[in-house]
Structure 1
C-alpha cells in the first residue's frame, strides 16, 4: 500500500462521515483564519522498518484539524474516532493503532496512527532439474 492510497482513504472516510463539512488537505500554514470552516488532514510521518529480510513494518501518522477552534462541536472527537478507527484502502480494512485527541498551542487536533506489516514475496526460483552426464572414451592415437 502506498502513502497516497492511505491518504486518499482517510480523505474518503472523513468525507463519508462529514458530508456537509469541507474536507481538504492541510496547507503549510497551520494558523486558521476566523472564516475557515471544515477539516484538514496531513501526513505527519511515514516510516518503513525491516523486521527480517522479508518482513517490514510500515507506520504512518496523520494529523486531523478542525479549522475553527472557536466553534468546535462537542461530539467532534467521538465522530473523528468513529470515522478513522477503521478505514478501507482499496477493499482492505485497516484499523488505527492509536487515535489521540490533543491540544497544540490551544488548537485541538486528532492524531491517528496506522501500522501495517508486509512481507516481500520473493520471485519463484526455477526448480532443480536433473542433470544428465555422458562420458565418452577417448582413444589415444597411435604414432
Structure 2
C-alpha cells in the first residue's frame, strides 16, 4: 500500500463523515487564515522499517485540523475518531493504532497513526532442468 492511497482514503473517510464541511489538504502554514473554515489533513511522517529480510513495518502519522477555533462542535472529537478509527484502502480495512486529540495552540488537531506489516513476496525460481550433453563438432574432428 502506498502513502498516497492511504492519504486518499483518509480524505474520502472525512468527506463521507462530514459531507457539509470543506475538507482539503493542509497548506505549508501551520496557522490557518483567520476566516478559514473546515477540516485539513496532512501527512506528518511515513516510515518503512525492516523487521526481517522479508518483513517490513509501515508507519504513517497524520494531522487532522479543525480550522474554526472559535466554533468547535462539542461532538467533533468523537466524530473524527469514528471517521478515522478504521478506514478502507482498496477494499482492505486499516485500523488506527493511535488517535490523539490535542487542543493546544490556535487550532485543535487530531493526530492519527496507522501501522501496517507487509511481507516481500519472493519470486519463485524455476525448477531445475535436465542438462543434455552432446558431442560437439570440434570433439568429433579430433577423433
Is the structural similarity TM-score above 0.5?
A: yes
Compute the displacement of 1:131 (Å): 4.0
Partner of 1:48: 48
Residues 92-142 of structure 1, C-alpha deviation per residue, up to 9 Å, x if partnerless? 11000000001232431000000000000111101123445679xx9x97x
CA RMSD of aligned residues (A): 2.0
Whether the aligned pair in 1 keeps the contact of 2:31 and 2:106 (CA below 8 Å) is no
Measured in 2, the distance between the counterparts of 1:105 and 1:74 equals 18
1:19 and 2:26 correspond: no
Residue in structure 1 matched with residue 113 of structure 2 by the alignment: 113
The offset of 1:71, in angstroms, is 0.6
Partner Cα distance (2:131, 2:104) in 1: 69
Q: Which runs of 5+ in 1 are unaligned?
A: none
Which residue does the alignment assign to 1:68?
68
Higher Cα radius of gyration = 1
Q: Unpaired segments of 5 or more residues in structure 2?
A: none
TM-score, length-normalised on structure 1? 0.90
- Tell me what 1:87 maps to: 87
Count of aligned pairs: 140
In structure 2, distance between residues paired with 1:38 and 1:14: 11
2:127 paired residue number: 127
Of Structure 1 and Structure 2, the greater helix share is in 2
Secondary structure of the residue that 1:27 maps to in structure 2? coil
Q: How many Å separate the matches in 2 of 1:132 and 1:28?
A: 66
